[in-house]
Chain A
Amino acid sequence: MSTVSELKASGQIWSLHDQASPGTLLSTGFAELDQLLAGGFPANTVIEIHSPIGIGELRLLLPCLTRPLIHAQLLTFINPPLLIGSQMLQAAGLAVEQVLVLQPATAQDALWAAEQCLKSGCCGAVVLWQSTLSIAQLKRLQLCAQHGMANLFIFRGQQQMQLSLPIALSLQLSPALQGLKVQVLKRRGGRPMAPMLVDMTARWPRLALQNTAANSALVLSHSA
């Protein structure tokens, strides 16, 4: 019993009954996702997202990322796998001057930069692409996020069978025809739920397919 209570005290185990106060929640901008997360993303903490690249994972975050920037704050992308498109940022309603893109040389520098951005109090949100993360590193990031009242979204690779981290929210994204399939791997104070489809057709009609893709053509690359 003592080991369980120790783990509880260190925040590595929690149960539904003694859940902490839900704290501030940030609406995700998608009704289904808000419902799945009982209101939205938890604010001022670290959120982990397992997703392949290019299936709409950034678009899922966009409504939430652009919202706090009303207060003239920065949005920081650290280590994006490709260039972040300025035109996309503009279309999302962001001034490009408010966006910083960092390309640190090492993973350690990336974590340092994330900490600095979170702590500074002038970043609304930080998006970090990083596959490995230790418990100690996560704790530091969480403290910084709390301190600077900012959110950190970490995009990690698809391999989810890693060390279990004491994280507030962990999501697994997979592609779907109309948008994304979201599965909650872990949510503080939440019970396991079935994966849910987030429909993005309303926001991005051209980035969704009907089930019967009648009028679409198949293209074979010339090298195939």
Chain B
Amino acid sequence: MASLWVYLHFPALQLDSLFQSLHQPAPLEGAQPPLAAPASTPAPTPTSPALCLLDPGSFLIKQLNTAARQQGIQAGMTLSMASALCHDLQVLPYQAAQELQYLQQIAALLYQISADIALDPPCAVWLRIDPMLALYGGLAAYLGTLSQHITALQLQTQIAVAHSAAAAQLLCFSQPGFVSDDPALIAAALDHCSLHHSQLQSTATGQKILQQLQAMGINNLGQLLAIPRPELSRRFSTEVIMMLDQVAGDRPTVSQFYQPPEQFCQSLELLYQLEHTQQMQAPLGYLLQLLQNYLQLRDQHCYQLQLRLELRDHPPLLLNLQSACGEYQQARWLTLFQLKLQQLKLPAPLLKMQLSAGQTTARDGDNLPLFDSRPRDGAEAVNQQSTPASTATTVLTADALRLRSLLTAKLGAERVQQPSLHADHRPELANSYHQTELLMVAGKGDGHYRANRPPHRPSLSLLPLRPGLLLIQPIPLRMQLQLQPGLERITTGWWDQKPIQRDYYIGRNEDGQWCWAFKNASGWYLQGYFA
């Protein structure tokens, strides 16, 4: 067998996806880790409302669910007719871009079981399966795996198999469910295919040709094939020949195969407008599950996520979330998001959310201490002096980084600070703080933060005596101090326009506080306390 193609058509892709993502918010981590597809519960429950999608251009029904079909509604009806048939019909606008995104999502999932995937927008995919059959051991085994994943998607699906891409497409539309790799059977089935399902239908000139063919009494492919080629090329334009070549597999139909995206970006249209942040948990969990699948397959983790919330009559809100140690698990990200969302008040109802991942890097195992007595399994504290304090670098464990992410998410980055040391004699500059920079940490290739200690730490006794609590700015001294003998003069800063000349004293006030005060040209000031 030269080649074999599967054509998968999802007649109500946008509608089904919309429905599924809302009612099956968080796909469970099931028995199929590569896809982690939702558990196979029966598709739309009987109580589901009749839903349909309306093409905003032509005002015709574009897609509909089973409930709507049971009411007698069909695709292509006008809205007034459909609403006459079903009084509580819910109508949503059809969005091609949205549907394309779902299609790409499906391609991403199918990419795990099949290598060559081509999109046929708006709602179908081709799979070239002849290279895959050796791997799966035959068509039946392959289709078994495929259908397992397809049913998990809970979409209305039509499938057909043929020896060329165009033939599979033709068969799928005219005889959905045709599955065989026998050339004779395929050829027989193709003969009965109505030409109205062929690609000629999609172009204006093609439609004209179809009318001509119909006038000649040629309705299906078999009749067309019976006409000798020279005759055909003389009577009709080249499009017919091209179509026939494609069906025969002599001319390629598919020019470009699917490539998985480099960046994770998924959005979710909400069926109902959300007004409270607590309600966002389920749809957000769904998006994060997609992220987890994406990252897990690549063995990567991610340091930064951006959530874009599109609101009604309001500019979109952007939420940035960072993790210091890189995460891929849905639950961990969800915890961080919950902390962030607690502080958020939605100014307007939420329509759509979009999750995009910033930087992703290869995952290496969590750096857990092997001999530490602190794991949370209730081990008794053992006094261990195994690690000498003189090691040049200290590796902060993933736990520490995770704690930092958690605190930053809840309290805000500006409230989580880290002291830093600067080589300056001015106390205000030497002791200045900086916010913990999670991304800077992330930039360090291996994903672990190495806290560099000074390589040759000066002997501690040589360091000057400095107070534990400092005022942000010195304030005029308004108390009596009993000074210790000796002073320290700091004269510096002549190079950066912030010169100081101060004589620092240590003194004790009447309350017994040990103060660090200085005297300069304008008087006495208090700088801090030796707490």
Residue of A nearest to B372 (CB): A71
Which of B109-117, B196-204, B468-476 forms part of the interface with chain A? B468-476
Q: Does A201 contact B (CB under 8 A)?
A: no
Q: Across the interface, which residues of A come within 8 angstroms of B389, CB to CB?
A: 70, 93
CA distance A80 to B468 in the complex (A): 10
Q: Does A100 contact B (CB under 8 A)?
A: yes
Which among B373, B420, B514 is the interface contact of A54 at CB below 8 angstroms? B514
Which among A54, A73, A149, A217 is the interface contact of B483 at CB below 8 angstroms? A217
Interchain CB contact under 8 A, B482 and A209: yes
Q: Across the interface, which residues of B come within 8 angstroms of A101, CB to CB?
A: 417-419, 433
Which among B374, B416, B484, B485 is the interface contact of A149 at CB below 8 angstroms? B374
Q: Does B70 contact A (CB under 8 A)?
A: no
Interchain CB contact under 8 A, B421 and A90: yes
CA distance A156 to B469 in the complex (A): 16
The proximity string for B residues 236-255 relative to A, scoring 1 for CB distances below 8 Å and 0 otherwise, is 00000000000000000000
How far does the Cβ of A96 sit from chain B's closest Cβ, in whole Å?
A: 5
Interchain CB contact under 8 A, A55 and B480: no
How far does the Cβ of B54 sit from chain A's closest Cβ, in whole Å?
A: 48
Which of A113-121, A132-140, A161-169 forms part of the interface with chain B? A113-121
Interchain CB contact under 8 A, B387 and A71: yes
CA distance A57 to B449 in the complex (A): 32
CA distance A207 to B531 in the complex (A): 10
Q: Does A31 contact B (CB under 8 A)?
A: no
Scan residues 471-506 of chain B and give those whose CB is less than 8 A from a CB of chain A.
Answer: 471-472, 476-486, 505-506
Which among A87, A98, A219 is the interface contact of B466 at CB below 8 angstroms? A87
Q: Does B465 contact A (CB under 8 A)?
A: yes
Scan residues 57-99 of chain A and give those whose CB is less than 8 A from a CB of chain B.
Answer: 57-59, 70-74, 80-93, 95-99
The proximity string for B residues 379-401 relative to A, scoring 1 for CB distances below 8 Å and 0 otherwise, is 00100110101000011110110
How far does the Cβ of B5 sit from chain A's closest Cβ, in whole Å?
A: 54
Which among B373, B374, B471 is the interface contact of A83 at CB below 8 angstroms? B471
Q: Does A102 contact B (CB under 8 A)?
A: yes
Which among B397, B430, B478 is the interface contact of A122 at CB below 8 angstroms? B397
Given A98-B394, A219-B480, do A88 and B381 touch, yes or no (CB 8 Å)?
no
CA distance A175 to B372 in the complex (A): 39
How far does the Cβ of A24 sit from chain B's closest Cβ, in whole Å?
A: 5
Q: Across the interface, which residues of A come within 8 angstroms of B528, CB to CB?
A: 82-83, 85
Interchain CB contact under 8 A, B415 and A104: yes
Q: Across the interface, which residues of B come within 8 angstroms of A24, CB to CB?
A: 381
CA distance A217 to B485 in the complex (A): 8
Given A112-B410, A218-B482, do A86 and B400 touch, yes or no (CB 8 Å)?
no
Scan residues 10-32 of chain A and give those whose CB is less than 8 A from a CB of chain B.
Answer: 24
The proximity string for A residues 30-59 relative to B, scoring 1 for CB distances below 8 Å and 0 otherwise, is 000000000000011000000011111111
How far does the Cβ of A125 sit from chain B's closest Cβ, in whole Å?
A: 13
Q: Does B523 contact A (CB under 8 A)?
A: yes
CA distance A95 to B471 in the complex (A): 22
Interchain CB contact under 8 A, B478 and A224: yes
Given A53-B529, A219-B524, A224-B478, do A102 and B469 touch, yes or no (CB 8 Å)?
no
How far does the Cβ of B217 sit from chain A's closest Cβ, in whole Å?
A: 79
Q: Does B21 contact A (CB under 8 A)?
A: no
Interchain CB contact under 8 A, B531 and A213: no
Given A55-B531, A81-B469, A97-B418, do A102 and B482 touch, yes or no (CB 8 Å)?
no
Q: Across the interface, which residues of A come within 8 angstroms of B449, CB to CB?
A: 97
Interchain CB contact under 8 A, B453 and A100: no
Interchain CB contact under 8 A, A100 and B418: yes
Interchain CB contact under 8 A, B512 and A149: no
Which among A52, A71, A216 is the interface contact of B384 at CB below 8 angstroms? A71
Interchain CB contact under 8 A, A70 and B387: yes
Q: Across the interface, which residues of A come within 8 angstroms of B480, CB to CB?
A: 218-221, 224
CA distance A220 to B513 in the complex (A): 16
CA distance A224 to B395 in the complex (A): 52
Interchain CB contact under 8 A, B400 and A73: yes
How far does the Cβ of A45 sit from chain B's closest Cβ, in whole Å?
A: 12
* Chain A residues engaging chain B, CB cutoff 8 angstroms: 24, 43-44, 52-59, 70-74, 80-93, 95-105, 109, 112-113, 116-117, 120-123, 147-149, 174-176, 204, 206-207, 209, 213, 215-224
6 additional A-B pairs beyond A83-B431, A207-B465, A219-B482, beta carbons within 8 Å, are A54-B514, A84-B470, A99-B418, A103-B415, A121-B374, A218-B480
12 contacts between A and B (CB under 8 A): A52-B511, A54-B515, A54-B531, A72-B396, A85-B427, A86-B419, A90-B463, A97-B396, A97-B418, A122-B403, A207-B530, A221-B477
Q: Can you list the 3 inter-chain pairs with the closest CB atoms, starting with the nearest?
A: A175-B512, A54-B529, A97-B451
